[in-house]
């Protein structure tokens, strides 16, 4: 359960990256953004995956 508490929402990731939420959904559609996971009908991100994706973009 502690792992689930650490997951980020789309809004969290958008704030962290400084991009609009719509951009994250576009990236997801084109499979170019950080890896997200569906939990039920909710989209969540593992913070370490997001940070790794950012490093890969440099």
> Looking at residue 31, which CATH number applies to its domain?
1.10.10
Chunked in runs of 10, what are the mean pLDDT values of the chain (58 residues)? 77 98 97 96 96 95
Query: How many structural domains are present in the chain?
Result: 1
Residue 9: per-residue pLDDT:
97
- End-to-end CA separation in angstroms for the chain: 33
**SS3 breakdown of the chain: % helix, strand, coil, rounded to 5?**
55, 15, 30
Average pLDDT, whole number, for the chain? Answer: 93
Which structural domain, as residue segments, surrounds residue 44?
2-57
Residue 5: per-residue pLDDT:
67
């Amino acid at each position: 359960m502690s792992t689930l508490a650490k997951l980020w929402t789309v809004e969290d990731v958008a704030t962290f990256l400084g991009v609009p939420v719509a951009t994250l959904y576009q990236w997801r559609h084109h499979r170019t953004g950080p890896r997200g996971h569906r939990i039920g009908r909710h989209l969540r991100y593992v913070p370490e995956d997001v940070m790794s994706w950012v490093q890969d973009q440099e």
